[in-house]
A and B are shown apart, each in its own frame.
Chain A
Amino acid sequence: MKQLSTKVTSNGHGQDSSYFLGWEEYEKNPYDEIKNPNGMIQMGLAENQLCFDLIESWLAKNPDAASLKRNGQSIFRELALFQDYHGMPEFKKAMAEFMEEIRGNRVTFDPKKIVLAAGSTSANETLMFCLAEPGDAFLLPTPYYPGFDRDLKWRTGAEIVPIHCSSSNGFQITEAALQQAYQQAHKLDLKVKGVLVTNPSNPLGTALTRRELNLLVDFITSKNIHLISDEIYSGTMFGFEQFISVMDVLKDKKLENTEVSKRVHVVYSLSKDLGLPGFRVGAIYSNDEMIVSAATKMSSFGLVSSQTQYLLSALLSDKKFTSQYLEENQKRLKSRQKQLVSGLESAGITCLRSNAGLFCWVDMRHLLDTNTFEAELDLWKKIVYNVKLNISPGSSCHCTEPGWFRVCFANMSEDTLDLALKRLKTFVESTDCGRMISRSSHERLKSLRKKTVSNWVFRVSWSDRVPDER
């Protein structure tokens, strides 16, 4: 219909991808323990549902915040009228301090450099509007969050050029891959404005190593471009390593308050760490005044509800609560991840060793008929329609190797996870591959474990296990 914009008529929204199709299938037949025990189990949604009890009990103990009061007086009117796009100062202060706490208080965040947005969806798009003209490109390591195609490109007209990462080194970013992506952009006649990474990574479930972060900062310094670090999973780090933010690296390299630091921006949100995606709380953190100023004005298009700002500023200002929450969140995520990993192992399936996130990056290459994306899609369809598990195929995340799937574990009960794993095991054993596995399962698992260990050793040798680091 030529009366409508090309945004309506094209599919730049990216929602025809399998990532979203799986959700649609789930909507048609959702699992319910009692009402629909044979329904589809949703494992394609990276939600954190493990710690609501902690928030609920905080609410019970804090009736003022819960009922829009301050010192027993209703502040409803004040909240109803508050639409200042600078955001509530006490809320930004609480966000800044929460972000500091997640990073072990090693770095500081200035509340004046925070711009609130309606979720990280909006934060990422706003940053694109501020940094890129239509046709400019950002480099992103693959595999990446499928929603980026919509969030970064759709209405902004920006382009994404992939930085190819492979399983040979645990999907880590290498210098060669960065340079190759940069050259590729030039071949396509695209001006590169920056690199965007998700740290910890979605869909990998791994935090970037110090080596990778150093590499990224050096790269953007030499190319004079931006670095956006989407750190929305920073509070889900459960491995024994510490989360290293790009801000840590700037500090360690003594680049704070330099021209380079003006080109490094962090995106944050409370959707994953606190499990509150419905509340639409996102944030941009930038050292560049002009970006803070422009992004603040743009936030008019997606401010955070004042009701929500008020509630969460009280919640996050309670330091006793936040430290208890972060610790407990970590514990529960770790235990749930373990449950998934060991359940998959018993079905002869391994994952990339993960230390963060709400999902695992699962290796099902051995279950493919052929080493192709068609085979991956075939397998995915079987898992969705026959096994009734919605998981996300690697191709929807722009992975360059077929056979990898993202499987979420934090958005369901332990029992549901158990059931999902049982279904998967049954499926694997029923396939030709499964029969092969059960025949030589002992040998296969042994070799798979070796592979897992060597992956682990590989990643660890590149990461923080160096004596002089904390």
Chain B
Amino acid sequence: MSADKNLLSKLAVGDKHGEDSPYFDGWKAYDNNPFHPDHNPQGVIQMGLAENQLCSDLIKEWIKANPQASICTAEGIDGFSDIAVFQDYHGLKQFRQAIAAFMERARGGRVKFEEERVVMSGGATGANETLMFCLADRGDAFLVPTPYYAAFDRDLSWRTGVRLIPVECNSSNNFQVTKQALESAYLNAQETGIKIKGLILANPSNPLGTSLNKETLQTLMDFINDKQIHLVCDEIYAATVFAEPGFISVAEMIQEMDHVNRDLIHIVYSLSKDMGLPGFRVGVVYSYNDAVVTCARRMSSFGLVSSQTQSFLAAMLSDKIFVDNFLKEVSKRVAKRHLVFTEGLKEMGVSCLASNAGLFVLMDLRQMLRDQTFESEMSLWRIIINKVKINISPGSSFHCSEPGWFRVCFANMDEDTLQIALQRMKSFVVRDKENKNCNNKKRKSFQENLKLSFSSKMYDDHVRSPRLMSPHSPLVRT
């Protein structure tokens, strides 16, 4: 039972949280029937969740070797009461220092981060929303290149009232954002009276899995500087970069591009992807603008990091040997998984957008669409979820301008499960090809045998019917 809807806010009764989108539907399909190698081998394999499960062994080892890092163990309990009362929104100094140091190491030591600018937030989710509250008023807009992370609609717009204006990118140049696209989106917005406050993007990109090259970064920075609008770089996948051109942070670009107004530059960071700790809710707002730092810090009261977690991470991330080894391993293991998965797909004739980062790939299934429409993309997606039993994310949920692209995550399962997923994909792809060939042949033969008798026609119809498919058909098995 719910009270009269008029008694609640529009936020509460509306659907602008965006969670009715297919991005989340796939999760529901998984939740209802989750794969388990022993208990539920026919269940849905979750490949829609960009989690990093590749390096938890390293963290576990560190925890075992460092019981004093926890305020709850015999070795660490002396710190319990001080930490338990600590709610200063500046955060523990040693935590801020450790985060700044970790961010520096994740950028190969090529930049320096000041711990006084590290502001906590409730994950990157909280960080992104906080920055919107600081940089824009209700009704203002931010440009965002497509395709983009599905939950940005909720995180950036829902409670803030900030609009998102897509900057369309397409596969003709591997979805790279161009000056032309930016200028065009900006101009259109201006002409319709929309006030653009900034540009936000993820680098490395979700869902593309690519990191920006220097040239593109220069283009972006010149663009925002020219318009004197903000640039928010969500760098939460920084440490997952495993190949050229390597990770170039906007922090590095600032060092080179003196003429760019630093007050416009803001970074979002988190430990959820690089370290695989989404449960610990560690988000960071790092701004070069003092007023934004002050305001974001006040707002961090709405999503501080648990002091228990701050204290633990301060110890772990101050361990330089651990951090350097960890970062090296993340990159290595992500690279290996990426290779296994993309090679596996290649063998069955499925290609992906060339990528060098992230915990996923953008798979190209345009050839498998009935026609190049989003309706076809949705149909294909439903088959993959319900028949192939893999949860992947359709490009439309990322506002991709072209149908047929799907984001598939590969770092949130063990290798065996990944192989099973590949096998299922293979069966599906092969069957799809067979169906297409079969349909083509039938079309030809039907056309050739238009003079056939009535009984022959019925036979043809029966052959097309699933009921009479060969008992060895993969479709029957699935």
Q: Judging by beta carbons under 8 Å apart, are B87 and A280 in contact?
A: yes
- Is A66 touching B73 in the complex (CB atoms < 8 A)? yes
A134 contacts across to B, CB distance below 8 A: 138
- Please report which residues of chain B, range 378-417, place their CB below 8 angstroms from some CB of chain A when the two chains form the complex: none
Contacts of B135 in A (CB 8 A): 3-5
Interface size of A by CB at 8 A reads 80
Q: Within 8 Å of chain B (Cβ to Cβ): is A328?
A: no
Q: Find out whether the CB atom of B295 lies under 8 angstroms from the CB atom of A307.
A: no
B344 beta carbon closer than 8 Å to chain A? no
**Given A8-B292, A263-B3, A77 contacting B56 (CB threshold 8 A):** yes
* A303 close to B60 (CB less than 8 A): no
A297 CB–B CB distance under 8 Å: yes
Q: Is the CB of A130 within 8 A of B303?
A: no
With A5-B134, A297-B154 as known contacts, state yes or no: A259 contacts B12, CB within 8 Å: no
**For residues 177 through 193 of chain A, which have their beta carbon under 8 Å from a beta carbon of chain B?**
193
Point out which of A8, A125, A259 has the most chain B C-beta atoms below 10 A from its C-beta.
A8
The answer to the question of B137 belonging to the interface, with a C-beta cut-off of 8 Å to chain A, is yes
User: Out of A7, A118, A275, which one reaches B84, CB within 8 Å?
Assistant: A275
Contact B7 A263 (CB under 8 A): yes
Which chain A residues numbered 91 to 121 have a C-beta less than 8 Å away from chain B? 118-119, 121
- Which chain A residues border B299 with CB–CB below 8 Å? 7, 13, 155
* One of A54-62, A378-386, A388-396 contacting the partner: A54-62
- Known contacts A47-B85, A271-B87, A300-B154; A5 and B11 CB within 8 A of each other: no
Instruction: Name the distance in Å between B196's Cβ and chain A's nearest Cβ.
Output: 11
A170 at the interface (CB under 8 A from B): no
| Contact (Cβ within 8 A) A76 B302 | no
A1 proximity list for chain B (CB < 8 A): 263, 291
A308 touches B309 (CB 8 A): yes
CB distance from A439 to the nearest CB of B (A): 43
Among B12, B13, B125, B305, which residue has its beta carbon within 8 angstroms of that of A301? B125
Contact assessment for A305 and B84 in the assembled complex, using a CB-CB cutoff below 8 Å: no
Chain A residue contacts of B334, Cβ below 8 A: none
Q: Which residues of B contact A311 (CB under 8 A)?
A: 72, 308
Q: How many A-B residue pairs have CB under 8 A?
A: 242
**A133 on the interface (CB 8 Å rule)?**
yes
Residue in A59, A155, A280 whose CB lies within 8 Å of B72: A59
Q: Are the CB atoms of B309 and A307 closer together than 8 Å?
A: yes
Given known A-B contacts A262-B1, A303-B123, A4 and B70 have beta carbons under 8 A apart: no
Chain A 66-87, CB-CB to B under 8 Å as 1, else 0, gives: 1110000010110111110000
B129 within 8 A of A: yes
- The answer to whether B218 has its CB under 8 Å from any CB of chain A is no
If A130-B12, A150-B298, A301-B126 touch, whether A55 touches B80 (CB-CB below 8 Å) is yes
A278 nearest CB neighbor, chain B only: B307
**Which A residues are CB-close (under 8 A) to B263?**
1, 3
Distance in angstroms between the alpha carbons of A245 and B327 in the assembled complex: 51
Chain B CB within 8 A of A249 CB = no
A-binding segment of B180-188, B277-285, B316-324: B277-285
Q: Which of A269-306 contact B (CB under 8 A)?
A: 271, 275-280, 288-291, 294-295, 297-298, 300-306
Residues from chain A with Cβ under 8 Å of B81 in the complex: 49, 52, 56
Residue B312 interfacial (CB < 8 Å): yes
Instruction: Mark interface residues in B154-187 (1 if CB within 8 Å of A CB, else 0).
Output: 1100010000000000000000000000000000
Whether A130 contacts B11 by the Cβ 8 Å rule is yes
B116 on interface, CB distance cutoff 8 Å: no
Given contacts A226-B7, A301-B302, A302-B122, contact A131 B85 (CB under 8 A): no
The CA-CA distance from A259 to B291 in the complex, in Å, is 45
Residues of chain B from 399 to 457 with CB closer than 8 A to chain A in the complex: none
- Identify which of B19, B80, B301, B307 gathers the most chain A CB atoms within 10 Å of its CB: B301
CB pair A130–B307 under 8 Å, yes or no, is no
A132 close to B (CB within 8 Å):
yes
Do A4 and B302 form a contact, CB below 8 Å, given A129-B9, A308-B309?
no
Nearest chain A residue, comparing its CB with the CB of B90: A27
Whether A6 sits at the interface, judged by CB under 8 Å, is: yes
Bound state CA distance, A226 and B155, in angstroms?
Answer: 27
Residues A7 and B134 in contact, CB atoms below 8 Å apart: yes
Residues in B neighbouring A295, C-beta threshold 8 A: 12
Q: Are B292 and A155 in contact (CB under 8 A)?
A: no
Interface residues of B in 249-287 (CB under 8 A from A): 263-264, 272, 276-281
Q: List 20 A-B contacts (CB under 8 A).
A: A3-B229, A4-B291, A56-B81, A59-B80, A66-B72, A67-B72, A83-B272, A122-B302, A131-B8, A132-B9, A277-B87, A278-B85, A280-B305, A288-B2, A290-B13, A300-B126, A304-B281, A305-B279, A308-B306, A411-B85
Interface residues of B (CB under 8 A from A): 1-5, 7-13, 17, 19, 51, 53, 56, 59-60, 63, 67, 70, 72-74, 77, 80-81, 83-87, 122-123, 125-126, 129, 133-138, 140, 154-155, 159, 197, 228-230, 263-264, 272, 276-281, 289, 291-292, 294-295, 298-299, 301-309, 312
Identify the 6 closest CB pairs spanning chains A and B, nearest first: A278-B307, A306-B279, A66-B72, A302-B303, A305-B306, A302-B122
